[in-house]
Structures are given as C-alpha cells and as structure tokens.
Amino acid sequence: MSESAAYRGAVDGLGSRHPIGLQLPAVYADDEMAQRFTAGLDDLLAPLLNVLDCLDSYFTPALAPEDFTEWLGSWVGAETDPDAPLPLLRESVGAAAGLHRLRGTTRGLSEAVRLAFGVEPEISESGGADWSARPLGPFPGDPQPHLRVVLRVEDPGSIDQQRLTELVRAARPAHIPCTVQVAAMRGPAT
C-alpha cells in the first residue's frame, strides 16, 4: 500500500459541503465557542462525507483506491497477486464475478491464468461436446481424461510455478487430472 493511500482522508483544506455550524438553532449562530467546536467537527467529518459522496467509485475497480481494490478483490474471490501491477489488479477484480461463471471451462481457465500472469496459456484437454440424432453414438474427446496447461514466457524462472499450479487446480474441472508447465517462448520458425 502506498503512503498516499494510507492517508487518503487527510486532505488539507477539505471543507464540509454541509457545515454543522450553519445548521444549529439561531441561539448558537452568534456563539463563538459553538461555531469553533462545530468547525472542528466539520474538519473531522469532511473526509467521511467525501467518501460517502463518492461511494459508488469505491465499488468500481477501475476507480477505487489501490488498497480498497485489493480488499474488494477479497470480497469477490479474485485470484490476485500482491505484487501485480495496479492495472492487472483492477482487471482481475473487475473480471472475478464473470470468471466464477466460467469456472471449469477452458475459456475460464485461460482467462484466469491470463489475468494472474499476464500471458495467454496453451491448453489442451480431453473433453468434448457433441450430439447425435441416434442413441449410443460415440463419445467425443479422449476416453482418458487429461488437462495440460503450458505457459510460455520469455523468462520461465520469473513465474511462480506453485502459484500457477494452484490456480489451474482451482479453476479446472474437479475430476480431471492436470499437468502444468512453464516453458520458454518459441523462437521464430526458420
């Protein structure tokens, strides 16, 4: 968390849009002590009122402060890395609800890995879907279930293999065994 995010509410000169002193009964309008006391409360409450005025922005990952975006990610079950750059964090949090709907599918797994590591994986799997007008038709896909995920990056050592494996195991169909591999990018064909 950046230092500026830790002190977000302390904005010098931030005044209240609704000063308490102006809302007091007329008897206190000329009372200097009451006006100074309520001015102090205005300074204390101004950041809170500012947050309430902008509350919808706090629940929009693209606009929320960084620390709140991380917290919001925990609400929606986003797979985030604490060291991820802010744009990738915001995208992961914004896509989390949709990814839960796609969990267990090739598309959902691919998107989860891309959001977590910034690279589109290569996925091969045994499943398939088909229909037939006649009963007892052949089943699609391979009879032996399998899932293979390969993440090709420039520097394979920069990828946390354990985190990738845990992510794939969480996003795959539960009954399918998987293999996860991190490999160097393929060079241009010669």
Alpha-carbon distance 157 to 176, whole Å?
27
* Amino acid making up residue 108: G
Does 150 have pLDDT greater than 80?
yes
CB burial class (10 A; 0-12, 13-18, 19+) of residue 153?
middle
Q: Alpha helix locations (H) across the chain?
A: 3-6, 32-53, 55-58, 66-76, 86-102, 106-117, 161-171
Does 190 have pLDDT greater than 60?
no
pTM above 0.75, yes or no: no
Query: What residues does 181 pair with on adjacent strands?
Result: 150
Q: What's the pLDDT score for residue 1?
A: 46
Alpha-carbon distance 95 to 90, whole Å?
9
Query: Can you tell me the mean pLDDT for 19-26?
Result: 90
Higher per-residue confidence, 135 vs 10: 135
Q: What's the pLDDT score for residue 145?
A: 86
Does 78 have pLDDT greater than 70?
yes
Contact between residue 34 and residue 28 where contact means Cβ atoms under 8 Å apart? yes
Alpha-carbon distance 44 to 168, whole Å?
47
Alpha-carbon distance 106 to 125, whole Å?
8
Contact between residue 180 and residue 149 where contact means Cβ atoms under 8 Å apart? yes
Does 84 have pLDDT greater than 60?
yes
122-125: long-range contacts, CB 8 A cutoff, minimum separation 24: 122/149, 122/150, 122/151, 122/152, 123/147, 123/148, 123/149, 123/150, 124/148, 125/176
CATH of domain 106-190: 3.30.300
Query: Can you tell me the mean pLDDT for 6-27?
Result: 76
pLDDT digits (tens, 9 = 90+) for 92-131: 999 998 888 998 889 999 999 998 888 999 999 887 777 7
Q: Where are the domains of the chain?
A: 106-190
Higher per-residue confidence, 151 vs 104: 151
Q: What's the pLDDT score for residue 182?
A: 94
Q: What's the pLDDT score for residue 45?
A: 86
Q: What's the pLDDT score for residue 11?
A: 66
